[in-house]
Amino acid sequence: MATSARFVSSLRRTALSSRAPSRCQCLRPAYQVRWNGNTPTPTSATSEPHQPDAEGGVKGKAAPRKSIKYTSENYPQLQRDSKFTKISEKHVKFFQELLGSESAVIDGVTKDASEDIEAFNSDWMRKFRGHTKLVLKPSSTEEVSKILKYCNDNMLAVVPQGGNTGLVGGSVPVFDEIVINLQKMNQIHSFDEVSGIMVADAGVILEIADNYLAERNHIFPLDLGAKGSCQIGGNVATNAGGLRLLRYGSFHGNVLGIEAVLPDGTIMDDLSTLRKNNTGYDLKQLFIGGEGTIGIVTKISIICPRRSPAVNVAYFGLESYEHVQKAFREAKGQLSEILSAFELMDSRTQKLVNRVTGKKMPLEGEHPFYCLIETSGSNPDHDGEKLEKFLEHVMETEVVQDGILAQDQTQIQELWSWREGITECLGHDGGVYKYDLSIPIHELYDLVNETRDRLTEAGLVGTDKSHPVVDVVGYGHMGDGNLHLNIPVRRFDKTVEKALEPWVYEWVQKRNGSISAEHGLGVTKKPYVGYSKSDTMIRLMKQIKDLYDPNGIMNPYKYI
């Protein structure tokens, strides 16, 4: 009966904690959402799934996908490029013959397939919706190659699509681009237990890859909220960040090789499994974070670290941002190689989680800042000793005011829920303007204060309904210098948007920060690339785009 007791007790914890399923600012596409046609034109701020209805509420069932406003209406500056051919029956016939299987082609050209096709036309936030009439699901690199060659020859525009969990509208069509979805390419080809190198298809779902590795005592170097839906090809194409980045670094270092198909059908086989390979230009890097604008990633080889058997989590209260920085420095110094996460949450986010979930705050008193530190290593005794020393030190030197250390796995998960639960709770009052920014660490939180001052001076922030803005909060991956500036609002309001943009981007630009740390550019941030990239850089990027995709069929209307 051991299992049943475990089950009961874990049930109880679940009821108490309602832990968010994962660890990232992006949510799983599973929440009830509503997006009605009356919402104003979205800003470039990534918006949240909990969009308010006409009464300002966010309850109720998800609106049908068909009621999502077309991206082309939301962004009237985007016009369909007349150089692209309109899809005809002839094209559909070619693809049907090429792919054979009935389920590989969703044909909305010769018949009405709108029910089946809408899921590929719109994103999970219910924010973007395209007009595509054709979805192709190739099963092999060769099929992708033949599809792209045909499209290139016939000037048919395409959108590569993975799990469709992006936050910036990069994976859905704007007009009638053909969706090339990689879900059928989902094989894990090899895993080397000695080197930790895995070779897999682009369409493998992240969680499946991570579970596969877990059985072999390894870990996928990326973890994020949408792991149950997102695909590793899409992760690579968008250079997703997430929670393991501090420890394991970005894809630019972890991905050892890529097989990709270029628009003319060329298969670029750079599926190297070598850690070191200094033989000229490292072309695969162009596809990491390229967002499907120069080719489609079909396979990746990636180096995966060993899974750490010993994990500890501590949660601190600190009195100022200066103290947070001190704690971070101490953590790096004393925990060094076992430090696996250093997350920052301001008191407003923690009070919000407390208010929305009704859970008791982990610490007794109130503190302006909170931090979550995770260590992972191979030896519990060694880690415990290090952590103990570190904790004693930061308490004695009063770097942290108060803190707790998780005593078991459940407490580890509970403490993480105070970081992971923020995104979900932010949507509680209505909508949220979200900015995902890279800022030099010493100035990271200044932006939150200045934004709050700015909106308060403009009379937009308040506790009652006459003010659109509920609060201005900040949290993020402190270790990576990545701030999530969030402005929860009761309703979307033009004056709020005017106060925020382009002011936020200018602020970031002045500090040589990035307007998109880990979410990418897609459709939403297209007009703002200039704040993070100089004219010369943008010109060089365009040259690469033109070189690989001279006809411009790959993911058009997006950032480049």
Partner 1 sequence: MSSLRILVPVKRVIDYAVKPRVNRAQTAVETANVKHSMNPFDELSIEESVRIREQKNHHKSAPKVEEIVAFSAGPPKSQDILRTAMAMGADRGLHVVVEEKDALEPLGVAKLLKKVVDENKSNLVILGKQSIDDDAGQTGQMLAGLLNWPQATQASKITFNDHTVEVIREVDGGVETLKAKLPMIITTDLRLNEPRYASLPNIMKAKKKKLDKKTLSDYGLDTELRLKTVKVTEPPARKGGVKVEDVDGMISKLKELGAL
Judged by the rule CB under 8 A, the positions of this chain that interact with partner 1 are 1-6, 8-10, 12, 16, 101-103, 309, 314-315, 360, 362-364, 380, 391-392, 395, 400, 402-411, 413
How far is 468 from 125, CA to CA, in rounded Å? 21
> Hey, what's the torsion of the CAs at 57, 59, 62, 68, to 10 degrees?
0
Shortest distance (Å) from residue 414 CB to partner 1: 8
Shortest distance (Å) from residue 5 CB to partner 1: 5
> Nearer to partner 1 by C-beta: 407 or 466?
407
Contact 291, 159 (CB under 8 A): no
Residue 279 tokens read as 């033989």
Residues 6+ apart with CB under 8 A from 282: none
Position 297: which residue type?
V
> Nearer to partner 1 by C-beta: 6 or 539?
6
CA 475 from centre of chain: 15
Shortest distance (Å) from residue 333 CB to partner 1: 18
> Nearer to partner 1 by C-beta: 13 or 131?
13
Shortest distance (Å) from residue 201 CB to partner 1: 16
The DSSP code sequence of 64-118 is PGGGSPPHHHH-TT----TTSPPP-HHHHHHHHHHH-SGGGEEE-SSS--HHHHH
> Nearer to partner 1 by C-beta: 294 or 394?
394
Three-state SS letters, 187-224 = CEEEECCCCCEEEEECCCEHHHHHHHHHHCCECCCCCC
Residue 501 tokens read as 């943009």
> Nearer to partner 1 by C-beta: 205 or 504?
205
How far is 408 from 402, CA to CA, in rounded Å? 19
- Note if the bond before 502 is cis, omega within 30 degrees: yes
Shortest distance (Å) from residue 549 CB to partner 1: 35
> Nearer to partner 1 by C-beta: 55 or 408?
408
Contact 230, 206 (CB under 8 A): yes
* Residue 314 DSSP code: E
Shortest distance (Å) from residue 364 CB to partner 1: 8
> Nearer to partner 1 by C-beta: 207 or 270?
207
Shortest distance (Å) from residue 275 CB to partner 1: 28
Rounded to whole angstroms, what are the CA distances from 240 to 229, 244, 262, 272, 339?
14, 11, 22, 21, 21
Shortest distance (Å) from residue 311 CB to partner 1: 8
> Nearer to partner 1 by C-beta: 102 or 112?
102
Shortest distance (Å) from residue 373 CB to partner 1: 12
Residues 6+ apart with CB under 8 A from 436: 25, 46, 167, 482, 483, 484, 516, 517, 518, 519
The DSSP code sequence of 419-479 is HHHHHHHHGGGSEEEEEEEE--GGGTTHHHHHHHHHHHHTT-B-SSTTSSB---EEEEEGG
Shortest distance (Å) from residue 505 CB to partner 1: 40
Residue 160: CA atoms inside 13 Å, Cβ hemisphere, count? 32
> Nearer to partner 1 by C-beta: 57 or 380?
380
CA 350 from centre of chain: 22
**Dihedral of alpha carbons 120, 123, 124, 127, sign:** negative
Shortest distance (Å) from residue 137 CB to partner 1: 13
> Nearer to partner 1 by C-beta: 117 or 255?
117
> Nearer to partner 1 by C-beta: 362 or 430?
362
